[in-house]
Amino acid sequence: MSPEERQTREELAACYRLAALHRLTDLIYTHITARVPGEDGHFLINPYGWRWEEITASSLVKIDLDGNKVDGSSHRVNPAGFTIHSAVHMNRHDAAWIMHTHTRAGVAVSCMEEGLLPLNQISLQFHNRIAYHDFEGIALDLEERERIVKAFGNHPVLILRNHGLIATGRSAAEMFNNMFYLERSCEIQVAATSSGRSLRLVDDEIASRVHKQYVQMNEEDGDLALEWAAHLRSIEGLGTDYRA
């Protein structure tokens, strides 16, 4: 195993543990996947049936674009669950990491006709950076992959209508950051819309300005790296067995 693959395995296992810590799981369903560095068409995915709290670097399974195992692992995989991921991995060089969730808040917002609203500072980082794909049933149809890719475009996150959320990234840090704050935005929106009070939306000019501020902060101050280090410390306080 190359040092690059080993690092990817450890970071992917960390993402699963972080998702479990922040209650982003759906028991054994949904997935987080990562492209294997230096191996065209190979990806890492969780062993099917394992709780995300149980995932370790060595338990992750290496698969191809069709969800077939290529590393001789004894663990099961869920090829159907890889349908969405494979579509994006195949067509987006920048989407080396992909996370899909079925959280209560994320699914709730996916059921709202308006989608994610410009309600607060956190949600504004996704201003003009979020895509939508209409619900077509359980994602088992390989032909749907083309429509998902078309809907996604070059955006970092996508809301699957009546289904859930998807976040991508060039790195584990970028992907997890996108999902963490997309989920937080959805939680805030559900809380605000549940209040029964009139909502005060941020106008487009201010929303665009805030989005640019987010981009500038990450580029100049390295906030993304600081956040990822903080995330890792939060699970290492519970143990480092995810690296095994």
- Total domains present in the chain: 1
**Predicted local distance difference test score (pLDDT) of residue 220:** 62
Task: Give the structural domain span for 40.
Answer: 3-243
**Predicted local distance difference test score (pLDDT) of residue 221:** 59
Q: What is the pLDDT of residues 75-105, one digit of tens each?
A: 999 877 788 898 899 899 899 999 999 999 9
C-alpha angle 4-168-138 in degrees, rounded to nearest 5: 115
Q: What is the pLDDT of residues 10-31, one digit of tens each?
A: 999 999 999 999 999 999 999 9
Q: Judging by DSSP bridges, how do beta strands 97-101 and 32-35 pair with one another?
A: antiparallel
Please tell me the distance from the alpha carbon of residue 12 to that of residue 172, in angstroms, as a whole number: 7
What is the CATH number for 44? Answer: 3.40.225.10
Rounded-to-5 percentages of helix, strand, coil across the chain: 45, 15, 40
Give every CB contact of residue 53 below 8 A, 6+ residues apart in sequence.
17, 20
